[in-house]
Chain A
């Protein structure tokens, strides 16, 4: 089975711009979660999508949004970029196993905001 793929792997933007990141989950996985990883804050949950619906949301401003398509692929969008949005954005594909979700992370998209 192919793993979780994220595109692009690296991105450089300037303040005020907007960006869209893409995630293709493992085939058959309907849950896709997004996380932001920074040296100062560690890994923080952004949101989770399941069957095209946002099921959980973390504590991030409305500039961060996402969506999921019928094939389970997901995108996240960040509008009006700020310097502090520079981070590794990780997507995780999840499947329920033994009463809890097993998550499989992609390699991430490294976003640099200048």
Chain B
């Protein structure tokens, strides 16, 4: 069974602070995706990382895939209240469209 451990589970910070969310596993994934989910909605894909060591930037968000493709991190610079939500990492393996999700990080950014 493949598991993705996400940390921290909860994060409450002030607007303007930086934060990092971690996603770790003992398994190798062919790709890793990050999603953000708001209450009453389905998760929305933020980014997909495929290559070990890959770094992708999306405005104030920086995503990194570990060299061994077992872990990933999401760094948010100068967080804003609009960043509040549930952040989920998800790993893909094998054929088909099947994802293993981490437990999620619930982020609250206070103005």
Which A residues have a C-beta under 8 Å from some C-beta of B? 4, 31, 33, 35, 42-45, 48, 50, 55-56, 58-59, 90, 92, 94, 97-108
Contact = CB atoms under 8 A, between A and B. Distances in A.
9 contacts: A4-B42, A33-B97, A43-B101, A44-B101, A55-B97, A59-B1, A94-B97, A102-B45, A105-B44
Q: Which 7 A-B pairs have the closest CB atoms?
A: A105-B42, A100-B31, A94-B97, A43-B101, A101-B97, A56-B98, A31-B97
B8 interface: no
Contacts of A33: 97-99
Interface string B31-63: 101010000111111001010000000000000
Contacts of A43: 43, 88, 90, 101, 104
Contacts, number: 74
Interface of B: 1, 30-31, 33, 35, 40-45, 48, 50, 88, 90, 92, 94-104
A101 B99 CA distance: 10
B97 A48 contact: yes
Nearest to B4: A42
